[in-house]
Amino acid sequence: MSGLGVRAIVLGSALWLVGFASGCAPAPTAQPSSAATAPPQQSAAQSTPRPATPSPPPREALRIPYSAISLSSLPHWLTYDAGYYAEEGLDVTLEYISSSTTLAPALLSGEVPLAYAGQEIVISSGVRGGDLVIIGAGLERPLFWLSVQGNERTAEDLRGKRFGVTRFGSSSDVVLRAWLATVGLVPDRDVTILQIGGTPEMVGALQAGGLDAAVLSPPAVFQAQRNGATPIVDFGDLDMPFYQNALVTTRRLLTERPEVARRVARAFARGWQLLHDEPTALASLRRYATGIEDELLVETYRAGVRRFAASPVPRVEPIQRGLEQLAARESLPAGITPEQFIAPEVMAAAMTP
């Protein structure tokens, strides 16, 4: 096996994660009026009304689905697990909706107010007039490996082969096309890219011979390896700033419901601090992992956590790279800038004491 394959195997451990519920604190009861019991004569100091105790924010039900059962969703899950959304008065529902491209219509229609999804839906919809915007960062380097079922090890070996991604335009598709360009392979001419629908389906298609190669993230990359596949490329080695998942909403929500956005951002900023608290993070991962050896789970976390951005405040660089990749495939409208796809001020304010 090549050195690249060995590194991918070390990094390619697996984890399933799902959401969980958290409690909330009861609202304080109202204080009785002091007017009826006040003595006839009071000093000026005594008669000065005390400032009212701030009321807790009203509770609000909120759907924040995620698009990948992967380490890439860890910040969102940690925030939920720690009860930080609940402490902001948010009764968050976590849902798994396979692939960011499936989530995009729900976000744009307002059916889903926020989601933890890939940057590609923000960019692809934005250049067509959509108002999706990233308010919280995520993985800033791809957490994907290219796995093969056969003996292919080089780019030339892969010429004429069938590659699987979840959906066209998804994170797996974007990363694969970026890598193919670096090795001189052209989609539809040199290789065939097939959209399979989800990572479990790709693992099955790879094993059954319906695919020659697949773009997989943990835990799928480890499952495929157990089935005889070999990870040969770690896409994290690409010079490619990229938000595989990020906290996404709409400009409309920021305008019409700014307090909701602020509360989500405050909770998320607190959850982000738990990423490098290994015992807490691993406890959360173990709680929702199924069928994963603990040693591999620990190695996956230690390898993958380094790919998260240093701060949850979104940066321009991943979006700029995404626009460059899109421009290589299609003509972009004039005046498009990476700044229009992020709202860093929301998270920056949430992190201000």
Among 238, 243, 248, 228, which residue's Cα sits nearest to residue 320? Answer: 243
Task: State the pLDDT at residue 43.
Answer: 46
Task: State the pLDDT at residue 218.
Answer: 80
Q: How far is CA 274 from CA 198, 268, 296, in A?
A: 29, 10, 20
Query: What's the pTM value of the predicted model, to 2 decimals?
Result: 0.76
- Mean pLDDT in consecutive groups of 10 residues from the start of the chain, 353 residues: 38 36 38 40 50 72 90 93 97 87 90 94 94 96 94 96 92 92 95 91 94 90 89 92 95 97 98 96 79 76 89 96 88 94 97 86
Token readout for 59 is 């509770």
Token readout for 24 is 């909330």
Q: How far is CA 234 from CA 120, 173, 256, in A?
A: 20, 15, 42
Buried b (16+ CB within 10 A) or exposed e, 175-201: bbbbbbeeeebeeeebbebebbebbeb
Q: Where are the alpha helices (DSSP H) in the chain?
A: 3-11, 44-47, 74-81, 84-87, 100-109, 119-126, 171-182, 199-208, 220-226, 251-256, 258-272, 278-288, 294-304, 316-327, 344-350
Task: State the pLDDT at residue 259.
Answer: 97
Contact yes or no for 222/291 (Cβ under 8 A):
no
Task: State the pLDDT at residue 264.
Answer: 98
Domain with CATH 3.40.190.10 in the chain: 60-140+242-350, 142-237
Domain 142-237: top CATH class? alpha beta
Q: How many CB atoms lie within 10 A of CB 104?
A: 24
CATH code that applies to domain 60-140+242-350: 3.40.190.10
